[in-house]
Amino acid sequence: MTDVSSRRGIRSAQLAILVNTCLALTKLVAGLVGHTYALVADAVESTADILSSAIVWGGLRVASRDPDDAYPFGYGKAEPLAAAIVALMLLGAAVGIAVVAMGEIRTPHLTPAPWTLGVLVAVVAVKWTLSRRVRAIGAEIGSTAVKADAWHHMSDALTSAAAFVGISIALWGGPGWESADDWAALFAAGIIAFNGADMLRPALHDLMDRMPGPEVMEPVRRAAEEVPGVLATEKIAVRRSGMGYRVTLHVQTDPEMSLRDAHVLSGKVKGAIRAAVPRVQYVLVHIEPFEGVGAEARA
Protein backbone atom coordinates (compact mmCIF):
# COMPACT_ATOMS: atom_id res chain seq x y z
CA MET A 1 0.00 0.00 0.00
CA THR A 2 1.51 3.30 -1.06
CA ASP A 3 1.59 6.25 1.30
CA VAL A 4 -0.42 8.35 -1.18
CA SER A 5 -3.17 5.72 -1.48
CA SER A 6 -3.42 5.17 2.25
CA ARG A 7 -3.57 8.93 2.88
CA ARG A 8 -6.40 9.34 0.39
CA GLY A 9 -8.31 6.48 1.97
CA ILE A 10 -7.79 7.89 5.46
CA ARG A 11 -8.93 11.36 4.39
CA SER A 12 -12.12 9.88 2.94
CA ALA A 13 -12.80 8.10 6.24
CA GLN A 14 -12.19 11.30 8.21
CA LEU A 15 -14.60 13.24 5.99
CA ALA A 16 -17.21 10.50 6.42
CA ILE A 17 -16.88 10.63 10.21
CA LEU A 18 -17.50 14.40 10.23
CA VAL A 19 -20.50 14.21 7.88
CA ASN A 20 -22.09 11.23 9.61
CA THR A 21 -21.76 12.80 13.05
CA CYS A 22 -23.75 15.83 11.89
CA LEU A 23 -26.35 13.69 10.10
CA ALA A 24 -26.81 11.25 12.99
CA LEU A 25 -27.57 14.08 15.43
CA THR A 26 -29.91 15.78 12.95
CA LYS A 27 -31.86 12.60 12.21
CA LEU A 28 -32.11 11.53 15.84
CA VAL A 29 -33.54 14.87 16.96
CA ALA A 30 -35.86 15.06 13.96
CA GLY A 31 -37.05 11.49 14.48
CA LEU A 32 -37.83 11.96 18.17
CA VAL A 33 -39.49 15.36 17.78
CA GLY A 34 -41.25 14.45 14.53
CA HIS A 35 -42.61 11.07 15.80
CA THR A 36 -41.02 8.91 13.10
CA TYR A 37 -39.15 5.72 13.95
CA ALA A 38 -37.84 5.47 10.38
CA LEU A 39 -35.73 8.56 11.06
CA VAL A 40 -34.59 7.23 14.42
CA ALA A 41 -33.57 3.97 12.70
CA ASP A 42 -31.78 6.07 10.11
CA ALA A 43 -29.92 7.88 12.90
CA VAL A 44 -28.81 4.53 14.32
CA GLU A 45 -27.52 3.54 10.87
CA SER A 46 -25.60 6.83 10.62
CA THR A 47 -24.08 6.19 14.05
CA ALA A 48 -22.92 2.81 12.75
CA ASP A 49 -21.47 4.69 9.77
CA ILE A 50 -19.34 6.77 12.13
CA LEU A 51 -17.93 3.66 13.76
CA SER A 52 -17.41 1.92 10.42
CA SER A 53 -15.48 4.89 9.02
CA ALA A 54 -13.34 4.93 12.16
CA ILE A 55 -12.62 1.22 11.66
CA VAL A 56 -11.69 1.83 8.01
CA TRP A 57 -9.42 4.67 9.12
CA GLY A 58 -7.67 2.40 11.62
CA GLY A 59 -7.46 -0.49 9.16
CA LEU A 60 -5.80 1.68 6.52
CA ARG A 61 -3.32 3.09 9.03
CA VAL A 62 -2.30 -0.41 10.12
CA ALA A 63 -2.19 -1.78 6.56
CA SER A 64 0.14 1.04 5.46
CA ARG A 65 2.88 -0.06 7.87
CA ASP A 66 6.07 -1.48 6.39
CA PRO A 67 6.90 -5.18 6.94
CA ASP A 68 8.99 -5.93 10.01
CA ASP A 69 10.46 -8.92 11.82
CA ALA A 70 7.15 -9.74 13.50
CA TYR A 71 5.12 -9.38 10.28
CA PRO A 72 7.52 -10.06 7.38
CA PHE A 73 4.65 -10.18 4.89
CA GLY A 74 3.37 -6.79 5.99
CA TYR A 75 0.15 -5.60 7.60
CA GLY A 76 -2.01 -5.60 4.46
CA LYS A 77 -4.62 -8.00 5.88
CA ALA A 78 -5.77 -5.23 8.23
CA GLU A 79 -7.50 -3.60 5.27
CA PRO A 80 -9.88 -6.47 4.29
CA LEU A 81 -10.32 -7.23 7.99
CA ALA A 82 -11.66 -3.69 8.46
CA ALA A 83 -13.97 -4.22 5.48
CA ALA A 84 -15.28 -7.47 6.99
CA ILE A 85 -15.97 -5.76 10.32
CA VAL A 86 -17.87 -2.97 8.56
CA ALA A 87 -19.96 -5.55 6.67
CA LEU A 88 -20.76 -7.45 9.89
CA MET A 89 -21.76 -4.17 11.51
CA LEU A 90 -24.21 -3.56 8.68
CA LEU A 91 -25.75 -7.00 9.16
CA GLY A 92 -26.06 -6.36 12.91
CA ALA A 93 -27.65 -2.96 12.32
CA ALA A 94 -30.14 -4.52 9.91
CA VAL A 95 -31.23 -7.10 12.47
CA GLY A 96 -31.56 -4.48 15.22
CA ILE A 97 -33.60 -2.11 13.05
CA ALA A 98 -35.87 -4.94 11.87
CA VAL A 99 -36.59 -6.12 15.42
CA VAL A 100 -37.48 -2.64 16.67
CA ALA A 101 -39.50 -1.83 13.52
CA MET A 102 -41.65 -4.92 13.98
CA GLY A 103 -42.29 -3.89 17.57
CA GLU A 104 -43.26 -0.37 16.48
CA ILE A 105 -45.66 -1.75 13.86
CA ARG A 106 -47.64 -3.48 16.62
CA THR A 107 -47.63 -0.36 18.83
CA PRO A 108 -50.00 2.56 18.03
CA HIS A 109 -48.18 5.89 17.74
CA LEU A 110 -48.50 9.42 16.44
CA THR A 111 -48.45 10.40 12.78
CA PRO A 112 -45.01 11.65 11.63
CA ALA A 113 -44.57 15.41 11.29
CA PRO A 114 -44.63 16.67 7.66
CA TRP A 115 -41.42 18.69 8.08
CA THR A 116 -39.42 15.47 8.56
CA LEU A 117 -39.71 14.93 4.81
CA GLY A 118 -37.46 17.93 4.21
CA VAL A 119 -34.86 16.50 6.57
CA LEU A 120 -34.88 13.23 4.64
CA VAL A 121 -34.47 14.94 1.26
CA ALA A 122 -31.36 16.72 2.54
CA VAL A 123 -30.00 13.51 4.06
CA VAL A 124 -30.44 11.52 0.84
CA ALA A 125 -28.65 14.21 -1.19
CA VAL A 126 -25.71 14.41 1.23
CA LYS A 127 -25.27 10.64 1.64
CA TRP A 128 -25.61 9.90 -2.07
CA THR A 129 -22.92 12.49 -2.85
CA LEU A 130 -20.65 11.19 -0.09
CA SER A 131 -21.09 7.59 -1.25
CA ARG A 132 -20.14 8.43 -4.83
CA ARG A 133 -17.06 10.34 -3.68
CA VAL A 134 -15.84 7.60 -1.34
CA ARG A 135 -16.60 4.84 -3.86
CA ALA A 136 -14.56 6.64 -6.53
CA ILE A 137 -11.61 6.90 -4.15
CA GLY A 138 -11.95 3.23 -3.16
CA ALA A 139 -11.98 2.11 -6.80
CA GLU A 140 -9.02 4.33 -7.68
CA ILE A 141 -6.78 3.14 -4.85
CA GLY A 142 -8.12 -0.44 -4.90
CA SER A 143 -9.27 -0.54 -1.29
CA THR A 144 -11.88 -3.11 -0.26
CA ALA A 145 -12.41 -1.30 3.05
CA VAL A 146 -12.99 2.10 1.45
CA LYS A 147 -15.43 0.61 -1.06
CA ALA A 148 -17.25 -1.12 1.80
CA ASP A 149 -17.49 2.23 3.57
CA ALA A 150 -18.96 3.74 0.39
CA TRP A 151 -21.64 1.05 0.32
CA HIS A 152 -22.35 1.82 3.96
CA HIS A 153 -23.05 5.43 3.01
CA MET A 154 -25.22 4.34 0.09
CA SER A 155 -27.26 2.07 2.36
CA ASP A 156 -27.87 5.09 4.60
CA ALA A 157 -29.14 7.04 1.58
CA LEU A 158 -31.44 4.13 0.69
CA THR A 159 -32.85 3.88 4.22
CA SER A 160 -33.53 7.62 4.18
CA ALA A 161 -35.28 7.28 0.82
CA ALA A 162 -37.38 4.41 2.20
CA ALA A 163 -38.23 6.52 5.24
CA PHE A 164 -39.32 9.34 2.94
CA VAL A 165 -41.71 7.00 1.14
CA GLY A 166 -43.05 5.56 4.40
CA ILE A 167 -43.66 8.95 6.01
CA SER A 168 -45.29 10.24 2.81
CA ILE A 169 -47.69 7.29 2.85
CA ALA A 170 -48.47 7.83 6.53
CA LEU A 171 -49.23 11.51 5.93
CA TRP A 172 -51.25 10.86 2.80
CA GLY A 173 -53.21 7.95 4.27
CA GLY A 174 -54.10 9.71 7.50
CA PRO A 175 -55.40 7.83 10.59
CA GLY A 176 -54.62 4.13 10.45
CA TRP A 177 -51.52 4.58 8.31
CA GLU A 178 -49.19 5.76 11.08
CA SER A 179 -47.12 2.57 10.90
CA ALA A 180 -46.16 3.13 7.26
CA ASP A 181 -42.84 4.65 8.27
CA ASP A 182 -42.16 1.58 10.45
CA TRP A 183 -42.74 -0.65 7.44
CA ALA A 184 -40.33 1.59 5.56
CA ALA A 185 -37.76 1.04 8.31
CA LEU A 186 -38.31 -2.72 8.00
CA PHE A 187 -37.82 -2.51 4.24
CA ALA A 188 -34.66 -0.47 4.77
CA ALA A 189 -33.36 -3.15 7.13
CA GLY A 190 -33.61 -5.65 4.27
CA ILE A 191 -31.60 -3.35 2.01
CA ILE A 192 -28.95 -2.90 4.70
CA ALA A 193 -28.70 -6.67 5.25
CA PHE A 194 -28.30 -7.28 1.50
CA ASN A 195 -25.53 -4.69 1.22
CA GLY A 196 -23.79 -6.09 4.29
CA ALA A 197 -23.74 -9.62 2.86
CA ASP A 198 -22.62 -8.29 -0.53
CA MET A 199 -19.71 -6.39 1.07
CA LEU A 200 -18.67 -9.28 3.29
CA ARG A 201 -17.99 -11.59 0.33
CA PRO A 202 -15.00 -9.75 -1.27
CA ALA A 203 -13.52 -9.04 2.17
CA LEU A 204 -13.58 -12.75 3.00
CA HIS A 205 -12.07 -13.53 -0.41
CA ASP A 206 -9.12 -11.26 0.38
CA LEU A 207 -8.72 -12.71 3.88
CA MET A 208 -8.75 -16.24 2.44
CA ASP A 209 -6.15 -15.31 -0.23
CA ARG A 210 -8.43 -16.02 -3.16
CA MET A 211 -6.78 -15.57 -6.55
CA PRO A 212 -7.79 -12.36 -8.37
CA GLY A 213 -9.54 -12.45 -11.73
CA PRO A 214 -8.04 -12.51 -15.24
CA GLU A 215 -7.74 -8.71 -15.22
CA VAL A 216 -4.77 -9.22 -12.86
CA MET A 217 -3.61 -12.75 -13.68
CA GLU A 218 -3.26 -12.34 -17.44
CA PRO A 219 -1.08 -9.19 -17.38
CA VAL A 220 1.16 -10.87 -14.78
CA ARG A 221 1.56 -14.00 -16.89
CA ARG A 222 2.04 -12.08 -20.12
CA ALA A 223 4.64 -9.72 -18.64
CA ALA A 224 6.71 -12.64 -17.32
CA GLU A 225 6.59 -14.63 -20.57
CA GLU A 226 7.60 -11.63 -22.68
CA VAL A 227 10.94 -11.26 -20.87
CA PRO A 228 13.77 -12.52 -23.14
CA GLY A 229 15.14 -15.79 -21.80
CA VAL A 230 11.87 -16.94 -20.24
CA LEU A 231 10.80 -20.13 -22.03
CA ALA A 232 7.77 -20.99 -19.92
CA THR A 233 5.91 -20.02 -16.75
CA GLU A 234 3.91 -22.13 -14.32
CA LYS A 235 2.50 -22.22 -10.78
CA ILE A 236 1.61 -18.53 -10.80
CA ALA A 237 -0.03 -17.58 -7.51
CA VAL A 238 -1.31 -14.10 -6.73
CA ARG A 239 -2.87 -12.96 -3.48
CA ARG A 240 -4.07 -9.60 -2.34
CA SER A 241 -2.37 -7.80 0.54
CA GLY A 242 -3.95 -4.50 1.50
CA MET A 243 -4.41 -2.51 -1.69
CA GLY A 244 -1.65 -4.37 -3.55
CA TYR A 245 -0.75 -7.90 -4.68
CA ARG A 246 1.96 -10.40 -3.87
CA VAL A 247 3.04 -12.73 -6.71
CA THR A 248 4.93 -16.01 -6.73
CA LEU A 249 5.70 -17.93 -9.92
CA HIS A 250 8.01 -20.54 -11.45
CA VAL A 251 9.98 -19.50 -14.54
CA GLN A 252 11.55 -22.08 -16.86
CA THR A 253 14.67 -21.11 -18.75
CA ASP A 254 17.73 -22.59 -20.50
CA PRO A 255 19.12 -25.45 -18.34
CA GLU A 256 22.66 -24.29 -19.21
CA MET A 257 22.14 -20.77 -17.89
CA SER A 258 24.59 -19.75 -15.18
CA LEU A 259 23.44 -18.95 -11.66
CA ARG A 260 24.37 -15.29 -12.13
CA ASP A 261 22.38 -15.02 -15.37
CA ALA A 262 19.42 -16.78 -13.74
CA HIS A 263 19.52 -14.25 -10.92
CA VAL A 264 19.57 -11.37 -13.41
CA LEU A 265 16.66 -12.95 -15.31
CA SER A 266 14.57 -13.23 -12.17
CA GLY A 267 15.14 -9.52 -11.52
CA LYS A 268 13.98 -8.68 -15.04
CA VAL A 269 10.84 -10.77 -14.54
CA LYS A 270 10.06 -8.97 -11.30
CA GLY A 271 10.54 -5.58 -12.95
CA ALA A 272 8.37 -6.51 -15.93
CA ILE A 273 5.51 -7.72 -13.73
CA ARG A 274 5.57 -4.65 -11.50
CA ALA A 275 5.68 -2.39 -14.56
CA ALA A 276 2.70 -4.17 -16.14
CA VAL A 277 0.65 -4.26 -12.92
CA PRO A 278 1.71 -1.31 -10.70
CA ARG A 279 -0.36 -2.61 -7.78
CA VAL A 280 1.96 -5.62 -7.48
CA GLN A 281 4.13 -4.88 -4.47
CA TYR A 282 6.16 -8.09 -4.21
CA VAL A 283 7.30 -10.80 -6.64
CA LEU A 284 9.05 -14.06 -5.82
CA VAL A 285 10.52 -15.92 -8.82
CA HIS A 286 11.63 -19.54 -8.72
CA ILE A 287 13.95 -20.45 -11.63
CA GLU A 288 13.69 -23.95 -13.15
CA PRO A 289 15.30 -25.65 -16.17
CA PHE A 290 13.04 -25.70 -19.21
CA GLU A 291 11.68 -29.19 -19.86
CA GLY A 292 9.13 -28.46 -22.54
CA VAL A 293 6.22 -28.59 -20.08
CA GLY A 294 3.76 -25.80 -19.34
CA ALA A 295 4.30 -23.66 -22.46
CA GLU A 296 6.00 -23.71 -25.82
CA ALA A 297 9.55 -22.49 -26.12
CA ARG A 298 9.94 -19.08 -27.65
CA ALA A 299 12.64 -18.16 -30.10
CATH code of residue 114:
1.20.1510.10
Q: Over its length of 299 residues, how does the chain's per-residue pLDDT go in tens digits?
A: 456 666 777 777 777 788 878 888 887 888 778 777 667 767 776 777 787 778 887 888 888 788 888 888 888 888 888 888 888 888 887 888 788 778 777 776 666 778 878 888 888 888 888 888 888 887 777 777 777 778 777 777 877 787 788 778 877 876 767 677 778 778 878 877 887 888 888 888 888 888 888 889 999 999 999 999 999 999 999 998 877 889 999 999 999 889 899 999 999 999 999 999 988 888 999 999 987 654 444 43
pLDDT of residue 298: 42
99-154 tens-digit pLDDT = 877 877 777 666 677 887 888 888 888 888 888 888 888 777 777 777 777 877 77
Q: Quick check: is 299 in a domain? A: no
Contact 9, 60 (CB under 8 A): yes
Q: Quick check: is 295 in a domain? A: no
pLDDT of residue 75: 84
Q: Quick check: is 296 in a domain? A: no
pLDDT of residue 273: 94
Of the three residues 144, 172, 207, the one that is the final residue of a domain is 207
Number of folded domains that form the chain: 2
Contact 98, 189 (CB under 8 A): yes
SS3 278: coil
Of the three residues 174, 192, 207, the one that is the final residue of a domain is 207
Of the three residues 175, 207, 239, the one that is the final residue of a domain is 207
DSSP-assigned states of every residue in 170-189: HHHH-TT-TTHHHHHHHHHH
- Cα 37 vs. chain centroid, distance in angstroms? 29
Range of the domain at 274: 214-289
Q: Quick check: is 202 in a domain? A: yes
Q: Quick check: is 87 in a domain? A: yes
Q: Quick check: is 294 in a domain? A: no
E strand residue ranges, the chain: 232-241, 244-253, 280-289
Same domain? For 39 and 144 the reply is: yes
- CA–CA distance, 203 with 108 (Å, rounded to integer): 41
Q: What is the pTM of this model?
A: 0.69
pLDDT of residue 299: 37
> Which among 147, 14, 12, 3 is positioned nearest to 64, based on CA atoms?
3
